[in-house]
Amino acid sequence: MTDRILSLAHLRSTHIAAELGCSDRYARRVLLNHGVQHRRGPPDGEANASWRGGRMVDSDGYVCLRTKPTRVLEHRVVMEQELGRPLSTAEVVDHIDGITIHNAPRNLRLFESNAAHLSATLKKAPMLSRSGAVNTGIRSDLGREYQPVDIHRLRKARGDVRLRAILRAALELGTEHPCLSGTMHWLTQSGIDPESRRSLERAWDNLTSRYAEDLTR
């Protein structure tokens, strides 16, 4: 791990941590112990390697658009444009095909609340947290049968959630699809050749195996 951190010393420590799935604090300590000067935090705007033309995929696998002084989720912007009105904070925009970077209007549907969204989309109760079980109406006396699972944070830290969204879009929609604009660098940084179907499929198989291993923790 130390050698990998040092090889990325030209990046900010937060970026190193995201790339390698370690903590920012650990990355900074390794750099300091080896006398390497480093920068904290991500750079802003176009200086950030994650941005491509003001568009990026965040660690949750959603497309963000650059707006000053913040950023907004593309799928919510698209839905607002389709409806001709702002969305309420309670409303949830869902991706019909499950590909969270595929924000074409025909692929989006609106739910009035998170509870309605969870009830319609979650199928496997063992994947629910306690709060998720409450929202979807699972009886409290059944809660003991289900172990709360919080593996999303682990997968985010590894960069797997983002990678899964990009890989799925590439395999199902093709690498030339507009929703993949500005995302190919995430594949190449992971050692995946975007031009090779075999490389994409192999990466997907590896990622699927990691997801399965998470369920045994």
Structural domains for the chain: 2-42 (no CATH), 55-144 (3.90.75), 152-214 (no CATH)
Q: Provide the pLDDT for residue 24.
A: 72
Q: Provide the pLDDT for residue 55.
A: 80
pTM over 0.85: no
What does pLDDT average to in each consecutive run of 10 residues of the chain (217 residues)?
74 68 78 70 48 76 81 92 94 95 95 90 55 46 48 88 96 92 89 94 94 82
Beta bridge partners of 110: 93
Q: Which two tokens stand for residue 178?
A: 């507009």
- Which residues, other chains included, contact 119 with Cβ-Cβ below 8 Å and sequence gap of 6+? 135, 136, 137
